[in-house]
Amino acid sequence: MVRRAVFRSLIRMVVRAALAAAASCAVLACGDGASAAADAGTCVVDEPDGCPSWTKDVQPIIEARCYGCHGPGGIEQSYRDFTTYQGVSGAGTTLATDVLSCKMPPPDAGQPTPRERGALVTWIECGAPKD
Ligand code: HEC
């Protein structure tokens, strides 16, 4: 538990630092900076207290919100294939940063809810548990 907490806060630092470089954001809500977020309006992220599950939480969100481009036949599948656990977990802090800043999904695509966004970010911060 302690080790996970340390790991998690380290990842969080990396994610926040990357964000700070790209945009000026409050802890839980980004309003500007990343141009995609500006186009989409306010980016709100609602992070859960515990660690989300891959099968129950994350995979269904990826399928609903990301498969259009990163799934079977999607325009970005060759670049980032999210049809496997390895593909999603391997995107790591890049995925967390892009979702937290509302760079992904692109503003003209269907948007995750704040809770869905929070689940993706927190799952990466938890070390991408495969449960
Ligand atoms: C409408 C199409 C579309 C959807 C839907 C979409 N993406 Fe993307 N994604 C792209 C495109 C295009 C790129 C490559 C260009 C770029 O990085 O902006 C990309 C790149 C990425 C990258 C790699 C960025 C990098 O710097 O290597 C990540 C991570 C990512 N997307 C995550 C996601 C996640 C997570 C979702 C779902 C919550 C999602 N995307 C939904 C189109 C999409």
pLDDT tens-digit readout, 3-15: 555 555 566 666 6
Q: What is the pLDDT of residues 50-87, one digit of tens each?
A: 999 999 999 999 999 999 999 999 999 999 999 999 99
Query: Does 80 or 31 have the greater pLDDT score?
Result: 80
Least confident of 10-14, 23-27, 55-59, 109-113: 23-27
Q: Which residue minimizes the CA distance to atom 1 of ligand 1?
A: 109
Rounded to whole angstroms, the Cα distance separating 10 from 13 reads: 5
Rounded to whole angstroms, the Cα distance separating 78 from 114 reads: 28
Beta pairing partners, 77? none
Give Cβ neighbours of residue 127 (< 8 Å, ≥ 6 apart). 4, 7, 8, 11
Residue 98 Cβ inside 6 Å of ligand 1? The answer reads yes
Tell me the pLDDT band of 42, cut-offs 50, 70 and 90.
confident
99 C-alpha to center of ligand 1: Å? Answer: 9
Residue linked to tokens 């760079």: 103
Residue 64 Cβ inside 6 Å of ligand 1? The answer reads no
Residue 95 Cβ inside 6 Å of ligand 1? The answer reads yes
**Are 126 and 12 in contact, with CB atoms under 8 Å apart?**
no
Residue 117 Cβ inside 6 Å of ligand 1? The answer reads no
Give Cβ neighbours of residue 91 (< 8 Å, ≥ 6 apart). 80, 82
Is the predicted pLDDT of residue 36 greater than 50, yes or no?
Answer: no
* Alpha-helix runs per DSSP H in 30-84: 35-40, 59-65, 67-70
